[in-house]
Chains A and B, each alone.
Chain A
Amino acid sequence: MATQEELHQAALKIGRANPVGRQGASKYLRRLDYSVLQQCIHCGMCLPTCPTYDETKLERNSPRGRIALMRRIADGQLEVTRAFGQELYFCLGCLTCETACPAGVRYGEMFEHARADIEQVGVLRNPVRDLVRALTLGWMFTRPQALRTVGRLVWLYQASGVEFLVRQLKLTRLLPTRLRALEALTPRVQQHFSDALIRPVETPANQKYRVGLLTGCVQDLAFSHVNRDTADVLLANGCEVVSPRAQFCCGSIHAHNGELELAKQMARRNLDAFDLERLDAVITNAAGCGTHLKNYGHLLQDDPAFAVRALKWSAKVRDIHEWLAEIGIRAPAASIRQTVTYHEACHLCHGQKITRQPRQVLQAIPGLELVELPESAWCCGSAGIYNITQPEMSQKLLRRKMANIATTAAQVVTSANPGCSVQLQAGLGESNLKLKIAHPISLLAQAYRKSEAQG
């Protein structure tokens, strides 16, 4: 576990000079290119698409309202206050507003800068929050070994039956509300992580491309089988798969939670981990990571040592569905006779504007019937760690999502983001729906495996 020294270091990374609770002037928003803030023409087209505005109908809870606040802060007419901090953490960061915006406002960038300001000024600080942030953002998600150690412990807790016992005895009631929510949302950790399932280099017989595979952090612990499936699908489509052993968290969790400097550090480490020149593409199967990975070029634009490499990186990053659609999906021979619906992860459909390709992947499977999910692109409430920080709003969105899923009568719900999958799993637990949750790529991999078995 974390040594005293590591924890101290982590706390320093996260800790701020300001005393708890005081408001102050902006550093990040003020430095942001003003035209980014000014691009909003406050037409209101984002309002009906924003899940939080839809719920409250208060202007402050809309993208237009939040941008207005950011702009006043950048102008120095408003300080970074506690209310502003709470507002920006009430925002899901789902980026639906970017899809709706006629003026091309880069909300995601503003949102990251605003949260960085909130952390820099420290308006939301309290000892528990500081500790949690130091442990997660500063320690766990900056050190792959730390994360894996935590993963092993969780696996042991889940696999040994202790979790079952704790839940049966309802000991979780002893936990504070937030932790209880967290307990329910803990993903099922896999016994084997990606490096035990995927060799550093795997080459298909008919190699046409060479790609790097990002195995991720949460994906690596809880969905390592999806990583294996991704490798299988890539191999079946003529791609040699290179998955470096030393991979780091992509840094999206840092960027989305106000730690832009740590996010840059994680980006640099990943750039060092991959031999970019030798790869045709860098593949990710997690939507949340994908949006951020594609943004490395922008994130490191002022870093002389990394700017050029980061731009090349951004140009090579592909979501797995996007890549398959680009090179042409080889249709499997075997069929899967199932009714499947598709939930769109926000960071795939809004963050990366990838909507067609995952459906193409599913439709390439013979026998599979794809039924459209009503409001498929409406956030499920997972939104990174939103389901833990804002359980009430998150639950409302999850119930809405589950009600929509119920109308499809599908046997499988597919989703291409680990956060959504964990959230949907929790939603299933609460509802009476009997269905499975899977990554679209897993279904394709399953079809390929079935084809091979049938010879």
Chain B
Amino acid sequence: MHKIAAELTRTLGSERVLWEREHLATYGFDGTAALYAEAGCVVLPKTTAEVTQVVRYAAEHKIPVVTRGSGTGLSGGSVPVPGCIVLCSVLMDRVLELDQKNLTIHVESGVVTQKVAELADVAGLLYPPDPGSMKISTIGGNVAENSGGLRGLKYGVTRDYVMGLEVVLANGETVAFGNKCVKDVAGYSMKDVFIGSEGTLGIITKVLLQLVPQPRAKKTLLATFSQMDAAAETVSAIIAAKIIPCTLEFLDRITMKCVEEYAHLGLPLNAEAILLMETDGHPVVVEEEAQQMAEIARNHGAMAVQLAESAEESIRLTTARRMAFSALARVSPTTILEDATVPRSELANMIRFIQQTAAKYEVTVGTFGHMGDGNLHPTFLTNEKNAAEMARVEKAMEEIFDQAVSLGGTITGEHGVGLAKKRFLPKAIGDASLGLMRQLKRTLDPDNILNPGKIFD
């Protein structure tokens, strides 16, 4: 038995320290394609005190610690460093408090996002961030990656709902930041340093989240366009009309084709884009905004606009968007989901560029995503066993990221850098910014034991 595992077993007991190959092989990856490495052991602590003990042991012996929730990340952030200790948070899943007076919920980091959403819902409240993996992703992972979701345009991302954090630092010290106050400017906003830090600066053990009142009504529309530009212009016009929809999602032609082949929904295959729009809030306002959005879409050359009259119809209209990823994932053995993001005004340009680049490198890319916030999901349909094609995928991806950056955008809108985007980061943020990040990392983790080699080397 592995020496590290033997010593950690004394702290956690043999059931929560895994070291057999049949265990390690199952923690060798996350939701990212084509990345694999084997840890030395996997530990499943149940309390902050146990996390502290593990981190102290790792610090003493200079063993890397890779924190992981449910392993659904899409940039390799929780893929093990060979021989490391994987610290898996899924057993730290207690809900500590739901405070209906201050509209907050306090949870341990291993609580599943969906659980937070459900608890909020029962209390008549809303936890808006809804990443695609929320049925199993953990809140700790969401905070570490600063996850987004479909409601970003109106409601923001995970960061906008984090009011406080408890973090175990690289030296084993436990620190708590933030509180239930909406206003708090006592010193640096340290919680914000840890949000999106991908497990490289500290291990998040508890999270205090803000909840908001549930909107009373919602209205769903679906519009089809023969030109991507028309769809993009529709989006701009809606925003210009001072409407902030909660959903503005699109599917491109290839994605639509895959959805149609999979689900036979009767999508128009001569269309270039489908735009799914939703507005929520006060019933009267929602009704008025929905009519306005339909009109704007028609004025911008929509081939058809459907306005849902019932909850069932609303679900029917969202089907194509909900199925987009499934439909794409079935086409080929390897599916690489990217998240290049550009300012809203550059959307049509960017989508056109993705299509041209895919054609140039002879790779299949279906693009869908969040048109309201410029967050695109170019999805590469390929096969990791085909080395020649994978090389072309890499090249196409690089050009797409370069273009996103040159249009004033970013290489990742919501998945994080991790391992998968590490090499694109310097170009995206520049030397000065990268230098500052490195300095911060050295200050908080001088021995480089927390998720080393992620984000940057």
| Chain A residues within CB distance 8 Å of chain B | 34-35, 38-39, 41-45, 47-48, 57-60, 62, 64-66, 68-69, 72, 78, 81, 83-84, 87, 102-104
- Chain B CB within 10 Å — which of A39, A43, A48, A72 has the most? A43
* A60:B26 contact, CB within 8 angstroms: yes
A87 to B20: give the CA distance in the assembly, Å. Answer: 13
* B335:A44 contact, CB within 8 angstroms: no
- With A59-B27, A65-B26, A78-B25 as contacts: A44 and B72 at CB distance below 8 Å: yes
What 0/1 readout, one digit per residue, does chain B (25-69) give for beta carbons within 8 Å of chain A?
111111101000000000010000000000000000000000000
A83 to B29: give the CA distance in the assembly, Å. Answer: 20
Partner of A38, one of B28, B30, B334: B334
| Chain A contacts for B112, CB-based, 8 A | 48
Chain A nearest CB, measured from B359 CB (Å): 24
The stretch from B155-163, B172-180, B322-330, B370-378 touching chain A is B322-330
Question: Is there a chain A Cβ closer than 8 Å to B420's Cβ?
Answer: no
A83 to B24: give the CA distance in the assembly, Å. Answer: 12
Question: Is there a chain A Cβ closer than 8 Å to B136's Cβ?
Answer: yes
Kindly report which residue of chain A lies nearest to residue B135, judged by CB atoms: A48
Partner of B33, one of A41, A66, A68: A41
With an 8 Å Cβ cutoff, the count of chain B residues facing the other chain is 36
Question: Is there a chain A Cβ closer than 8 Å to B333's Cβ?
Answer: yes
* B385:A34 contact, CB within 8 angstroms: yes
A316 to B44: give the CA distance in the assembly, Å. Answer: 49
Inter-chain CB contacts under 8 Å: number? 86
* B385:A104 contact, CB within 8 angstroms: no
* B26:A69 contact, CB within 8 angstroms: yes
* B23:A43 contact, CB within 8 angstroms: no
Question: Is there a chain A Cβ closer than 8 Å to B71's Cβ?
Answer: yes
Partner of B18, one of A38, A44, A58: A58
Chain B nearest CB, measured from A356 CB (Å): 15
A68 to B31: give the CA distance in the assembly, Å. Answer: 12
| Chain B contacts for A83, CB-based, 8 A | 20, 22
What 0/1 readout, one digit per residue, does chain B (11-23) give for beta carbons within 8 Å of chain A?
0000000101111
What 0/1 readout, one digit per residue, does chain B (103-127) give for beta carbons within 8 Å of chain A?
0000000001010000000000000
* B329:A102 contact, CB within 8 angstroms: yes
* B325:A69 contact, CB within 8 angstroms: no
A42 to B28: give the CA distance in the assembly, Å. Answer: 11
A35 to B384: give the CA distance in the assembly, Å. Answer: 11
- With A41-B31, A48-B135 as contacts: A102 and B22 at CB distance below 8 Å: no
A83 to B23: give the CA distance in the assembly, Å. Answer: 9
| Chain B contacts for A44, CB-based, 8 A | 31, 70-72, 133, 136-137
* B333:A59 contact, CB within 8 angstroms: no
* B136:A103 contact, CB within 8 angstroms: no
Chain B nearest CB, measured from A377 CB (Å): 15
Partner of B135, one of A34, A45, A62, A104: A45
A sample of 13 cross-chain residue pairs with beta-carbon separation below 8 angstroms, ordered by A number, consists of A38-B334, A38-B385, A42-B30, A43-B329, A44-B136, A45-B136, A48-B135, A60-B22, A60-B23, A66-B26, A68-B26, A68-B28, A102-B326
By Cβ-Cβ distance, the 3 closest A-B pairs, closest first, are A65-B26, A102-B326, A38-B333
Chain A nearest CB, measured from B291 CB (Å): 34
Partner of A72, one of B25, B383, B384: B25
**20 additional contacts (CB under 8 A) given A41-B31, A42-B31, A68-B25:** A38-B385, A39-B330, A41-B334, A43-B72, A44-B71, A45-B133, A45-B136, A47-B136, A48-B112, A48-B114, A48-B135, A48-B136, A57-B91, A58-B44, A59-B26, A59-B88, A64-B26, A102-B325, A103-B329, A104-B326
Partner of B22, one of A34, A35, A69, A104: A69
* A43:B91 contact, CB within 8 angstroms: no
Partner of B23, one of A42, A58, A64: A58
Chain A nearest CB, measured from B337 CB (Å): 9
Question: Is there a chain A Cβ closer than 8 Å to B259's Cβ?
Answer: no
Question: Is there a chain A Cβ closer than 8 Å to B90's Cβ?
Answer: yes
Identify which of residues 399-424 in chain B touch chain A, using a CB-to-CB cut-off of 8 Å: none
Chain A nearest CB, measured from B186 CB (Å): 37
Partner of A59, one of B71, B334, B385: B71
* B26:A57 contact, CB within 8 angstroms: no
Chain B nearest CB, measured from A47 CB (Å): 5
| Chain A contacts for B334, CB-based, 8 A | 38, 41
A57 to B45: give the CA distance in the assembly, Å. Answer: 12
Chain A nearest CB, measured from B14 CB (Å): 13
| Chain B contacts for A39, CB-based, 8 A | 330, 333
| Chain B contacts for A60, CB-based, 8 A | 18, 22-23, 26
- Chain A CB within 10 Å — which of B25, B26, B114 has the most? B26
A296 to B151: give the CA distance in the assembly, Å. Answer: 46
Chain B nearest CB, measured from A448 CB (Å): 33
| Chain B contacts for A68, CB-based, 8 A | 25-26, 28-29
A39 to B385: give the CA distance in the assembly, Å. Answer: 12
Chain B nearest CB, measured from A171 CB (Å): 36
* A103:B326 contact, CB within 8 angstroms: yes
Kindly report which residue of chain A lies nearest to residue B73, judged by CB atoms: A44
| Chain A contacts for B29, CB-based, 8 A | 42, 68
| Chain A contacts for B71, CB-based, 8 A | 42, 44, 59
